[in-house]
Structure 1
Amino acid sequence: MKKIAVILAGCGVYDGAEINEAVLTLLHIAKAGASYQCFAPDIEQLHTINHLNGEQMTPNRNVLVEAARIARGDIKALTLLDANNFDALIVPGGFGAAKNLCDFAIKGTQAKLNPEILRAAKAFANAKKPAGYMCIAPAMIPLIYSAGVKTTIGNDLDTANALQSLGAQHIDCAVDDIVIDEQHKLVSTPAYMLAQSILDADAGIKKLVTNVLAMS
């Protein structure tokens, strides 16, 4: 059975992992007959957002504790992720990917990755193991892979230009499609960067999971 590591950025579209993207990812991994283990960094979130009114809340929350809500408690600290024990990596989106896993949401083209994310993601890349990134999570790709790596965040011009500035080759992509970089065994899909419904998001996520598993 293939084993997939899934990295979550918290719980909730505005400050953590996008819940639908995360659940659909886990569902399609399981439906394909593979297994998964969720991980998250044991750090404070950038901030905590009230998802009802969009306002910032106090006290702030912990990324690992929040991500455990999605994983039903079956989650490990990112420090424990060893790429040698897995066949592939998948990273759902949500603003937490650009706020907690890296600081792209704040610093744009000056962005840096959380050190544990960098270690874990680079381990998969260096081992030539496949990986999938969705929604805004592909903003991390040029900080992990070599210049010219192919990826997508959909078709948002400003974000695409920022990825190009960081060294990626951005390819416009429809919500129900994926971009594959064969050389790097890398798959990306826009998901809720473009999705207007859970069905929209599901179409691309299913293709991403299917192709990541096929490469592993």
Structure 2
Amino acid sequence: QFLPGGRGGRSLHPRHSGKPAAPLPHVFSGCGWWDGTDVHEGVYTMYHLSRNGARFQIFAPNQQQMHVMDHMKKQPGSGENRNMMMESSRFSHGQGMMQMQDLSKLDVNSFDAVIFPGGQGVTKNLSSFVKDGKDCKLQSDVERVLKDFHRSRKPIGLASMAPVLACRVLPSIEVTMGYERDENTRWGNWPHTSMVQAVKSMGAGHNVREPYEAYVDEKNKVVSTPSFMWETDYHYHYIFDGIGNMVKHVMRMSTK
């Protein structure tokens, strides 16, 4: 018989004694790769935090998305508007609004680290990258949060497209967004490499990594992983493992 607490009712996972650590905030931009936060990246991040004994809280701007995409046709829908915070709340479960908060309320003094999963919402909702490229502007609270955590020497985790946000306002950092050329690998290809050239133009350093890896900028406490910068039909476990590596290093640095 399966017992949630493990054999003899004992937990199979580590317990933390004393005062619980502060939850780790995620900054989301909606729900879905083409117009918000990628579902896999968001869920994988929460899974790995949970597996490692951490709590989490979701934040998003209380603003409208740039547009709403038909994810089957991969084109904008007509006459529909959606709020980033309401869409991001689809990721929350059980606690609802206790997990979902307005990004304007994210205070660096209340948290030990922050993670930005990827998805096209990074380029459309959290910044103007889709229109302005390397000269993009960031949503005001996104810029504030990134600068505050960096200034406070608290780790920042970034997946897939999210490095463009940090590189725009923290130009000396080192990141990975995967490969630098659109190469066909055994199980997928790299269709978004123009973004790599953009972050290099912003003054950031770029390091080639595989989807299952993470790059750690120890000096700036920035951890990044390629995630769905790599396009694959079936091999999502590589993305899962890469986000796991990113989360592991963010948690390690948050205790220093």
TM-score where L is the length of structure 2: 0.81
Match 1:43 to one of 63, 66, 76: 63
Match 1:172 to one of 196, 203, 208: 208
Is 1:182 paired with 2:202? no
The equivalences for 1:137-176 within 5 A come to 137-145=162-170, 147-156=171-180, 157-176=193-212
1:144 Cα offset (Å)? 2.8
Aligned-partner SS, 2:223: strand
The equivalences for 1:46-125 within 5 A come to 46-57=66-77, 58-72=79-93, 73=96, 74-125=99-150
Is 1:210 paired with 2:248? yes
Higher RCO, Cα 8 Å, sep 6+: 1
Identity of matched residues, %: 33
Other-structure match for 1:33 = 53
Greater Cα offset, 114-123 or 148-157: 148-157
Q: Distance in 2 between matches of 1:214 and 1:126?
A: 18
Q: Distance in 2 between matches of 1:159 and 1:110?
A: 12
1:89 Cα offset (Å)? 0.3
Contact 1:8 1:39 in 2 (8 A): yes
Other-structure match for 2:185 = none
1:106 Cα offset (Å)? 1.7
Aligned length: 215
Letter in structure 1 aligned against 2:248: T
Q: Which runs of 4+ in 1 moved over 4 A?
A: none
Aligned-partner SS, 2:59: strand
Contact 2:168 2:199 in 1 (8 A): no
Other-structure match for 2:239 = 201
Contact 1:195 1:201 in 2 (8 A): no
Unaligned runs of 5+ in 1: none
Aligned-partner SS, 1:184: coil
CA-based RMSD of the aligned residues comes to 1.2
Other-structure match for 2:8 = none
Deviations 1:66-96 (A, max 9, x none): 0001123330000110111111000000000
Q: Distance in 2 between matches of 1:50 and 1:130?
A: 35
Unaligned runs of 5+ in 2: 1-19, 181-192
Greater Cα offset, 67-76 or 130-139: 67-76
Q: Distance in 2 between matches of 1:5 and 1:195?
A: 27
The structure that is helix-richer by fraction is 1
Q: Distance in 2 between matches of 1:35 and 1:18?
A: 20
Deviations 1:135-173 (A, max 9, x none): 00111112232x331001111442211101111111111
Aligned-partner SS, 1:213: helix
Greater Cα offset, 64-73 or 127-136: 64-73
Aligned-partner SS, 1:153: strand
